[in-house]
């Protein structure tokens, strides 16, 4: 009896704050998604699934969905490919390796807001750095309006986001690589395996746990990307970079459509849930014990 009392004292504060400020809002979001609440009036009417019906007929939602998927796919692929390459180059414990890892992590320390400003300036068509560099190395034909071009803008923002976070993936891969027993490599050396086949048959299977974590995390981050889009393009030009996260923010706080915005939030949540479950199931199957 006494033990339960102490457990309660230890658990209660966290339980109350977590329940009141996260669980309760999350659960009530399902209710709000079925109302016409506008955020200003204290009254709201229950309208069933009307918001969801409206959502699926809304062309903007479909294009936002498409952008959401493009961003998530490219962030997942490139952040993992670059992150893994950097980790392979810097997995050693020597001083240079450690210094370089710290250097690569610097972008991750900046506020996404700062990243937004920096890269807006990098991409500026008139006096931006990227076009200047291209001109300097004689590739004037490649200069672009990186954020103003409807086709390019989304990729420009995705690159800025990868620039910021790729070192996080790198660190997780480094940890995975360092946990591989050295004798595995020695054995493969004796067998005369080349670098590529060693990567394919030893390294890649054995970093599977790090791979799972990285894939799932980068995908979720990609699916709900907000800050950097908000600062760099705010959905433009002409909706070319508008994703679900931006759309629901605008619906909620720009157009006072809280109920409708919550329906979009639920769509986002369902997508994240389904894709994470698929990824975890597929990737866990690949993990091996050693």
Partner 1 sequence: MRVQRMFLPAVLLIWSIVVFIPFYLVVTMSLKSPIDLQLSPLSWPSSLQFANYWKAWTQANLGHSFMNSILITATSVILIVILSSMAAYPLARRTEKWSAMLYVYFLAGIMVPFQLAMIPLYKLLKALHLIGEYAGAIMIYSAMGISFAVFLYVSFFKTVPREIEESAQIDGCGPFRLFWVILFPLIKPISSTVVIINSLFIWNDFFIPMLFLQNKAMRNVPLSLFTFTSEYSNNWMLIFAAVVIGSLPLILLFILLQKHFIQGIASGAVKG
For the bound state, the minimum distance from the C-beta of residue 56 to partner 1, rounded and expressed in Å, comes to 19
What is the distance between the alpha carbons of residues 199 and 212, in angstroms, rounded to a whole number? 17
For the bound state, the minimum distance from the C-beta of residue 63 to partner 1, rounded and expressed in Å, comes to 18
What is the distance between the alpha carbons of residues 186 and 207, in angstroms, rounded to a whole number? 17
CA dihedral 36, 38, 41, 43 (to 10 degrees): 20
Nearer to partner 1, 23 or 187 (CB): 23
Kindly give, in sequence order, each residue whose CB lies less than 8 Å from that of residue 221, ignoring residues fewer than 6 positions away.
75, 165
Residue 238, SS3?
coil
Two tokens at 88? 């392979």
Which one, of 243, 249, 251, lies nearest residue 223 by Cα?
243
């Amino acid at each position: 009896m006494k033990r339960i009392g102490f457990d309660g004292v230890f658990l209660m504060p966290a339980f109350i704050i977590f329940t009141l400020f996260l669980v309760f809002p999350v659960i009530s979001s399902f209710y709000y998604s079925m109302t016409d609440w506008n955020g200003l009036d204290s009254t709201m009417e229950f309208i069933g699934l009307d918001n969801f019906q409206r959502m699926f007929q809304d062309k903007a939602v479909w294009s936002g969905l498409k952008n959401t998927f493009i961003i998530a796919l490219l962030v997942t692929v490139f952040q993992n490919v670059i992150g893994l390459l950097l980790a392979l180059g810097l997995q050693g414990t020597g001083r240079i390796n450690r210094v370089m890892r710290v250097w690569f992590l610097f972008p991750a320390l900046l506020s996404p807001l700062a990243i937004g400003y920096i890269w807006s300036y990098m991409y500026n068509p008139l006096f931006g750095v990227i076009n200047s560099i291209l001109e300097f190395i004689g590739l004037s034909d490649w200069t672009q309006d990186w954020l103003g071009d409807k086709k390019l803008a989304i990729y420009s923002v995705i690159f800025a986001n990868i620039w910021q976070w790729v070192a996080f993936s790198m660190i997780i891969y480094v940890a995975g690589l360092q946990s591989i027993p050295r004798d595995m490599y020695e054995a493969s050396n004796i067998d005369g395996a080349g670098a590529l086949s060693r990567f394919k048959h030893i390294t890649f299977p054995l970093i599977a746990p790090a791979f799972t974590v990285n894939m799932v995390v980068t995908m979720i981050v990609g699916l709900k990307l907000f800050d950097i889009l908000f600062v760099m393009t705010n959905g433009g030009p002409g909706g070319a970079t508008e994703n679900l996260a931006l759309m629901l923010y605008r619906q909620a706080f720009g157009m006072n459509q809280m109920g409708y915005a919550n329906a979009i939030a639920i769509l986002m949540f369902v997508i994240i849930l389904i894709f994470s479950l698929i990824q975890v199931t597929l990737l866990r199957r690949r993990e091996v014990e050693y």
